[in-house]
Structure 1
């Protein structure tokens, strides 16, 4: 037969395990949100690079256009 102390400790252990599981799930959600935010920043950066590249390409092409064409 289990002692009262042992039962209390096992119950407390189950609570701690449940808390750890909850915290792990919370960490996973935070990591996912951070990853989405980083992807957004990357998309913004790529858009800026693409815009600059288009401007550079247009400038480069204008250098080689024949006058009066």
Structure 2
């Protein structure tokens, strides 16, 4: 799925940039170009960043009941 139409950046490429160290929308833009055109995808990029860098609410739950 395309996250950024202007730069033809897919969700897979975006995740790769984040895994490669991108921590901000600006850093993602420098790495793959997402968010540097019209800017319409910057909120989507921010959601991917938050999901990757924020701890999950379920991470601290026990694995068994």
Q: Which has the larger radius of gyration?
A: 1
Structure showing greater relative contact order (alpha-carbon pairs closer than 8 Å, 6 or more residues apart):
2
Name the one with the larger helix percent: 1
Q: TM-score, normalised by structure 1?
A: 0.27
Name the one with the larger strand percent: 2
